[in-house]
Amino acid sequence: MDILALINSLPPSLAQGLLWGIMAIGVYMTFKILDFADLSVDGSMALGGAIAVMALVKGYSPEVALLLATFAGFAAGFVTGILHTLLGIPDILAGILTQIALYSINLNIMGKANMAVNVETHRLIVSLRNIPHAILVSALFVAVIVAVLYWFFGTEFGMTIRSTGCNKNMSRAQGINTNFATVTVLALSNALVGLSGGLISQYSGNADVNMGRGAIVIGLAAVIIGEVLGEAILGKYLNFALRLVFAALGAVIYYIVITFVLWLGLPSEDLKLFSAIVVAIFLAVPYLKGKYNASFAKLARQGEKQAKEADE
């Protein structure tokens, strides 16, 4: 095991983690704010990548390609929201239906399972050829997205969305259109996922119909990792904006962990297994921490009760 090889592999992992961090912020919006299990993420990420690469191949600028990828993700999230709110399909099934449909749509967009773009002749916003630039640009994207979302969810409409996620029945009783709020969040969330897919396809120089497979798992892992890390470092000072930042950092940590696992020389065919183990560990941390705190709180209450009885 060459420690220098590990050090050299960290910058690409950082860049890739930040790009996936944009997707993690989108997952945070549905999972934590709306309490919606959106499985359409896998399809909308591949959709963003397919749209971005095909736009570049057709001669569009990388900026226009990203805008198209973002809009395509927005449309995918909108469809999931309509399936759930207007047609009454449960959230998980609505996401699965959109994901399945997007697989065929992505194949039709690219014409085949994989489409590459010539990184030598096309101007790209982020690229493997320039890792420091990719890190800087992806970090700027994360910062702007966090700032915009922090402002948006502080508005009156943003508050209604957060209220919908906390208690849909009470929000509806207060006159809030919860269906509109749900569709809006799903559309915005998948817009970020599509943007992430477009950036990742430019970064790697290709798009694949399966590039989003397991994206929801990585996104959930990033959210949980960021939440655990943020609460451990900042505790009660962890506000909404910092939670979004830590969600993105969670994706960075996830990819660094995967890089470390590969550096250890473990079989690459077992990468999915190792990913599942890492995700399971971090998903279990909040639950185990809650049980740990509850057990000590219970013991403390019992001690106080015994002390009062002894005084009497």
Please write the tens of the pLDDT for every residue from 235-290. Answer: 888 899 999 999 999 999 988 888 887 787 777 677 777 777 877 887 787 777 77
Average pLDDT rounded to a whole number, residues 181-191: 95
CA torsion through residues 110, 95, 269, 52, sign: positive
Residue 308 confidence (pLDDT): 63
**What percentage of residues in the chain have a pLDDT greater than 90?**
52
Q: pLDDT-derived band of residue 305, with 50, 70 and 90 as boundaries? A: low
H-helix or E-strand spanning residue 156: helix 156-166
Mean pLDDT (the chain) is 87
Residue 300 confidence (pLDDT): 62
Instruction: Say whether pLDDT at 150 is over 60.
Output: yes
* Degrees, nearest 5: CA angle 154-149-142: 150
Q: Of 23-27, 178-182, 214-218, 274-278, where does mean pLDDT reach its minimum?
A: 274-278
d(Cα 3, Cα 164) in Å, to the nearest integer?
Answer: 49
Average pLDDT rounded to a whole number, residues 116-130: 86
Calculate Rg over the CA atoms of the chain: 21
Q: Which CA distances in Å does 136 have to 12, 14, 130, 219, 310? A: 12, 10, 10, 21, 63
Crossing angle of the two packed helices 240-263 and 3-28, in degrees rounded to 10: 140
Average pLDDT rounded to a whole number, residues 117-142: 90
d(Cα 252, Cα 293) in Å, to the nearest integer?
Answer: 28
